[in-house]
């Protein structure tokens, strides 16, 4: 049985009825408005989208906000955020009740904060590596004379048809002790290398998964750049390097910013990759939130952690947006 | 004044793209302070010629000389040549000032000097005080001026202009034509100008190079090109023409449209087939009895300064320009004075192999 089939029939009818109602509403609104007032009428067309946004974006955010500021009984509290700052918070609360001797054992746990800084650091590294790898790739793709773009696009897109879990697990069979690389090394008579279960393996997995999101925005910007501008720069006395620094690079900035956004945001929230390639030695903030929700069942603290991350991401988005006010890169912003 | 020394020589330049000949064995020299226009229909190789001089393309064969030094393989940024591009190609991330200062900053001139030069340029193109504006906020004509200023500020020996006025409306185009010509004369810079607009070429140039299918058809000053077109193509491309097939009976006597006409051309073989070109404004409308030819007015168009009438003499439909209108359907006589009959050799047939391309 597939998903649609297992849905109760009334739900399908409800969705259908909703759709018809919205369409009827749009037609009604448009017919009431004068033809000269076309622009205002069109806003009604956005209403299904608005509803979609409310159900799938605004509502979850509000729910997270609600959980983050309440305890398990539903009363208002800020203690969930104290949990972020002090991951021993619950234990320490307990110690407090057993008098001064027990209170002497109170120590702040910094797991959560450490995980966040580690995640940010890893995301930063991942973004920088992606940028370094992606920019030349995008330049090769955008080069008219090389005519490589379609080949490289296929190389990047085909793996994306596979689930990202599978792709990550595939790296295991390459990197593990009996994996491809080590077999090759031993065949060549060289000592085996410990490739898995460390930071580098996690970083590799992240870069591998997020690289296309850096390549494509930069390629888009470079590809539609007017090549006459390069000729103009050369004409005015710029050699290839100067042309790149003074024309290509600044003009591709929107794509770079869009790429940074699209790589940095998901890398901060990465989970699963550290568990597979890091072997549980490392934990990222995404894993932490996941374990709060799924392992500990503490939705309130989990929501607080999510909220903190959301705020951090919004701040970084705001900074990036300053650099690309028009959103020319066509990214997520 | 134009100096006699050659500034640029193109020697036997050919250019092929994937087996297609774009330029075929082109030879051309350009003198100092000359205003040269490359004129021809699209695909005639005029822009390719300009790009070869600018250094954006390399010729398949032949040499480019600049002051007698071979610059065929010199990259664009080492040539003392600047270009005004067809769609201006202004840098969208820089404001007007920085666009113009681009070349000077690369030369690492002192800031003060750059400022002086840029401001002088802005004044020259009548855009004083526009330095801080973004280039996208400017009109087409203003962008055009910035593009010219950006090229001229580097004090090039030669300015290359690739259909720079193509995107402007008619009135602005006429203004800019005069302005460009003035600028060229005042600054004493050599201009190489590419256009498909014959009127523009006639207005501005010292020398016109008419091109077709990668070959030079005629080189000459505007008056010569207009009055003495070398072949039917040039005659047709520059201004409007009646082109007929004729036969040279003997020196100064040609037969076309079923009649013998006295002309001023000689040195043809006896009974050589020729092309005869007569400008529409060179045909006089006279009484039926006084005309060398008699025809019926088929149509009349009012063109502003003159009327354009199509007159059928039974063998050929003549295009006639006259300020006096003859009503449609009336019978008129046509008269042509010998001096206005232009006779040209038939073009040598293009070898079979090249014609296929």
pLDDT digits (tens, 9 = 90+) for B115-145: 999 999 998 888 888 888 888 888 888 998 8
* Phi, psi (rounded to 5 degrees) for B223: -65, -40
Per-residue pLDDT at A233 exceeds 90: yes
Residues of B in contact with A246 (CB under 8 A): 102, 106
Q: Write down the pLDDT at residue A329.
A: 47
In whole angstroms, what separates CA B61 from the centre of its chain? Answer: 25
Give yes or no for residue A326 having a pLDDT over 60.
no
Higher pLDDT, B10 or A26: B10
To test the contact with chain B by mutation, choose from A237, A246, A254 the residue with the greatest count of B C-beta atoms within 10 A, namely A237
Name B29's bridge partners. Answer: B9
How much is the average pLDDT of A145-151? 82
Q: Do A231 and B76 touch (CB under 8 A)?
A: yes
When pLDDT is averaged across residues B223-242 and rounded to a whole number, the result is 87
Domains and CATH numbers, chain A: 112-323 (1.10.3720.10)
B258 in reach of chain A (CB within 8 A): no
Tell me the average pLDDT across A223-238.
90
Q: Which of A234, A247, A251 sits opposite B75 (nearest CB)?
A: A234
pLDDT of residue A37: 53
* For A247, nearest residue in chain B (alpha carbons): B91
DSSP one-letter string for A281-311: S---HHHHHHHHHHTS--HHHHHHHHHHHHH
User: What ranges do the domains of chain B cover?
Assistant: 6-232, 241-345
Q: How far is B83 from chain A (nearest CA, A)?
A: 7
Mean pLDDT of B217-224: 92
ipTM of the complex: 0.79
**pLDDT above 70 coverage of chain B, percent:** 97
Nearest Cα residue in chain A from B152: A236
pLDDT over 60 (residue B43): yes
Q: How far is B250 from chain A (nearest CA, A)?
A: 55
pLDDT in tens, B252-274: 888 888 888 888 888 888 888 88
B77-102 pLDDT, tens digit per residue, is 999 999 999 888 999 999 999 999 99
Residue whose C-alpha is closest to residue A317's, from A235, A262, A236: A262
The pLDDT, as a whole number, for residue A7 is 57
Q: Pairing between strand B190-195 and B35-39?
A: parallel
Residues of A in contact with B83 (CB under 8 A): 231-232, 235
Mark which residues 191-230 of A lie under 8 Å from B by CB. 226, 228-229
* B91–A232 C-beta distance less than 8 A: yes
Q: What is the pLDDT of residue A99?
A: 77
- In percent, the amount of chain A with pLDDT more than 90 equals 20
pLDDT digits (tens, 9 = 90+) for A244-265: 999 999 999 989 988 998 898 8
Distance from B61 to chain A by nearest Cα, in Å? Answer: 21
Judged by a CB distance cut-off of 8 A, whether residue A231 touches chain B is yes
The 10 Å Cβ neighbour count of residue A143 is 14
Contacts of B85 in chain A (CB under 8 A): 228, 231-232
pLDDT, one tens digit per residue, over B154-180 is 989 999 999 988 878 888 888 889 988
Confidence of residue A4 (pLDDT cuts 50, 70, 90): very low
Contact A236 B77 (CB under 8 A): yes
Question: Rounded to whole angstroms, how far apart are CA atoms B179 and B161?
Answer: 14
| Interchain contact B40–A (C-beta under 8 A) | no
CB contact under 8 A, A236 and B102: yes
What stretch of H or E contains B250? Answer: strand B242-250
Q: Taking CB atoms and an 8 Å limit, are B106 and A238 in contact across chains?
A: yes
Q: B108 contacts in A (CB within 8 Å)?
A: none
Of the ranges A21-30, A191-200, B15-24, B166-175, which one carries the lowest mean pLDDT score? A21-30
pLDDT of residue A48: 73
B66: β partners: B8, B69
Residue range A55-73, pLDDT digits in tens: 888 888 888 888 888 888 8
For residue B28, pLDDT beyond 60: yes
d(CA A273, CA A109): 25
CB contacts of A231 in chain B (<8 Å) are 54, 56, 76, 83, 85, 89
Tell the CATH superfamily of the B6-232 domain. P-loop containing nucleotide triphosphate hydrolases (3.40.50.300)
Separation in Å, CA of B354 to nearest CA in chain A: 27
Mean pLDDT (whole number) for B30-54: 92
The minimum CA-CA distance between A326 and chain B, rounded to whole Å, is 13
Which pLDDT score, from 0 to 100, does residue A173 have? 86
Burial (0-12, 13-18, 19+ Cβ within 10 Å), A305: buried
Give pLDDT, residue B59. Answer: 92
Spell out a b/e string for B213-248, using b for 16 or more CB atoms within 10 Å of the CB, else e.
bbbbbbbbebeebbeebbbbbbbebbbebbbbebbb
Contacts of A49-56 with CB under 8 Å at 24 or more apart are A51/A22
A251: chain B residues, CB-CB within 8 Å: 91-93
B-chain residues near A239 (CB < 8 A): 75, 77
pLDDT 10s digits, B309-357? 999 988 889 999 999 888 998 999 999 989 889 888 887 665 444 433 3
d(CA A243, CA A236): 10
CA distance B47 to B41: 11
- For A260-286, the pLDDT digits (tens) are 988 988 888 888 888 888 877 778 888
Q: Which residue of A has its CA nearest to B98?
A: A246
Percent of chain B's residues with pLDDT above 90? 45
pLDDT at position A2: 46
CATH fold, domain B241-345, is: OB fold (Dihydrolipoamide Acetyltransferase, E2P) (2.40.50)
* Residue B80 distance to chain A (closest CA, Å): 9
Q: Which two tokens stand for residue B252?
A: 């100064």
Q: Report in angstroms the alpha-carbon separations of A149 from A121, A156, A165, A210, A255.
A: 32, 11, 27, 19, 17
Option in A226, A229, A234 nearest B77 (CB): A234
Torsion of Cα atoms, B318 then B319 then B324 then B329, to 10°: 50
For residue A332, is pLDDT > 60?
no
List, for residues B178-209, the tens digit of each pLDDT value: 988 988 998 889 999 999 988 899 999 999 99
> Helix or strand or coil: residue B131?
coil
Q: What is the pLDDT of residue A41?
A: 52
pLDDT of residue B349: 60
pLDDT greater at residue A2 or residue A194:
A194
Q: What is the pLDDT of residue A54?
A: 79
CB B32 within 8 A of CB B7: yes
How sure is the predictor about A34, in pLDDT bands with cuts at 50, 70 and 90?
low
Q: pLDDT at position A333, please?
A: 37
pLDDT bracket for residue B251 (50, 70, 90):
confident
CB spacing of A232 vs B85 below 8 angstroms: yes
What number of C-beta contacts closer than 8 Å exist between A and B?
61
Q: Which residue has the higher pLDDT, A93 or B107?
A: B107
Mean residue pLDDT of chain A comes to 82
Backbone angles phi, psi at B19, to 5 degrees: 85, -5
What pTM was estimated for this model as a whole?
Answer: 0.76
Q: Does A327 have pLDDT greater than 90? A: no
Question: Hey, is the C-beta of A144 within 8 angstroms of any chain B C-beta?
Answer: no
Q: Over range A181-190, report the average pLDDT.
A: 86
Residue range B67-75: mean pLDDT, rounded: 90
Q: What is the pLDDT of residue A150?
A: 85
- Give the integer Cα–Cα distance in Å for B114 and A244: 22
Q: What is the pLDDT of residue A32?
A: 66
Question: What is the distance in angstroms between the Cα of A240 and the nearest Cα belonging to chain B?
Answer: 9
B91 contact A CB<8A: yes
Considering only CB atoms, B106 lies closest to which of A228, A229, A236, namely A236
Residue A247 contacts B where some CB pair is shorter than 8 Å: yes
Residue A131 has pLDDT above 90, yes or no: yes
How far, in Å, CA of B218 to CA of B127, rounded? Answer: 38
Confidence tier at A1 by pLDDT (50, 70, 90): very low
Q: Report, as an integer, the average pLDDT of A177-183.
A: 84
Cβ–Cβ contact B92 with A under 8 A: yes
> Residue A3's pLDDT is what?
46
What confidence score (pLDDT) does residue A284 get?
86
Contact state of B85 with A231 under an 8 Å Cβ cutoff: yes
């Amino acid at each position: 049985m597939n998903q649609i089939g297992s849905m109760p029939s009334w739900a399908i009818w409800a969705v259908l009825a909703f759709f018809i109602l919205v369409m009827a509403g749009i037609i009604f609104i448009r017919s009431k408005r004068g033809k000269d007032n076309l622009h205002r009428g069109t806003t009604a067309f956005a209403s299904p989208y608005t509803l979609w946004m409310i159900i799938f974006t605004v509502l979850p955010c509000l729910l997270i906000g609600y959980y983050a500021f309440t305890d398990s009984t539903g009363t208002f509290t800020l203690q969930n955020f104290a949990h972020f700052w002090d991951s021993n918070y619950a234990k320490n609360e307990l110690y407090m009740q057993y008098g001064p001797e027990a209170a002497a054992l109170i120590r702040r746990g910094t797991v959560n904060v450490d995980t966040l800084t580690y995640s940010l650091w890893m995301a930063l590294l991942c973004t920088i590596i992606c940028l370094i790898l992606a920019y030349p790739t995008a330049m090769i793709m955008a080069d008219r004379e090389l005519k490589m773009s379609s080949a490289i696009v296929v190389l990047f897109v085909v793996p994306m048809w596979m689930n990202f879990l599978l792709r990550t697990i595939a790296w295991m069979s390459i990197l593990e002790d009996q994996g491809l690389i080590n077999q090759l090394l031993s065949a060549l008579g060289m000592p085996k290398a410990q490739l898995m279960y460390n930071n580098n393996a996690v970083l590799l997995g992240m870069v591998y998964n997020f690289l296309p999101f850096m390549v494509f925005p930069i390629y888009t910007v470079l590809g539609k750049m007017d090549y006459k501008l390069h000729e103009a720069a050369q004409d005015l006395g710029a050699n290839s390097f100067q042309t790149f620094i003074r024309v290509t690079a600044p003009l591709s900035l929107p794509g770079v910013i869009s790429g940074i956004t699209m790589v940095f945001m998901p890398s901060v929230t990465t989970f699963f990759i550290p568990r597979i390639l890091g072997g549980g030695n490392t934990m990222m903030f995404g894993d932490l939130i996941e374990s709060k929700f799924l392992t500990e069942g503490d939705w309130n603290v989990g929501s607080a952690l999510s909220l903190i991350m959301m705020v951090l991401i919004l701040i970084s988005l705001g900074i990036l947006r300053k650099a690309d006010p028009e959103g020319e890169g066509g990214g997520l912003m | 004044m134009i100096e006699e020394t050659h500034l640029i020589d193109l020697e036997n330049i050919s250019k092929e793209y994937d087996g297609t000949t774009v330029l075929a064995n082109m030879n051309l020299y350009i003198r100092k302070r000359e205003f040269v226009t490359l004129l021809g229909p699209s695909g005639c190789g005029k822009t390719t010629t300009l790009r070869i001089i600018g250094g954006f393309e390399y010729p398949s064969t032949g040499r480019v000389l600049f002051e007698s030094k071979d610059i065929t393989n010199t990259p664009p940024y080492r040539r003392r040549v600047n270009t005004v591009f067809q769609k201006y190609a202004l840098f969208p991330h820089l404001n007007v000032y920085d666009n113009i200062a681009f070349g000077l900053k690369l030369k690492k001139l002192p800031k003060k000097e750059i400022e002086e030069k840029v401001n002088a340029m802005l004044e020259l193109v009548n855009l004083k005080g526009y330095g801080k504006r973004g280039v996208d906020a400017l009109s087409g004509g203003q962008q055009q001026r910035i593009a010219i200023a950006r090229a001229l500020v580097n004090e090039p020996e030669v300015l290359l202009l690739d259909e720079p006025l193509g995107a402007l409306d008619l009135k602005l185009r006429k203004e800019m034509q005069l302005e460009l010509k003035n600028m060229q004369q005042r600054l004493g810079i050599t201009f190489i100008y590419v256009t498909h607009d014959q009127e523009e070429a006639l207005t501005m140039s010292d020398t016109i190079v008419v091109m077709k299918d990668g070959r030079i058809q005629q080189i000459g000053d505007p008056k010569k090109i207009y009055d003495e077109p070398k072949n039917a193509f040039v005659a047709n491309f520059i201004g409007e023409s009646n082109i007929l097939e004729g036969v040279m009976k003997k020196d100064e006597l040609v037969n076309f449209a079923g009649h013998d006409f006295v002309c001023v051309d000689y040195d043809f073989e006896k009974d050589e087939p020729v092309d005869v070109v007569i400008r529409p404004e060179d045909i006089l409308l006279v009484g039926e009895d006084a005309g060398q030819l008699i025809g019926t007015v088929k149509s009349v168009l009012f063109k502003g300064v003159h009327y354009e009438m199509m007159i059928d003499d039974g063998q050929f439909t003549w295009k006639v320009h006259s300020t006096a209108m003859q009503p449609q359907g009336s019978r008129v006589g046509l008269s042509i004075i010998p001096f206005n009959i232009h006779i040209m050799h038939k073009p040598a047939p293009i070898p079979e192999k090249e014609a296929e391309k």
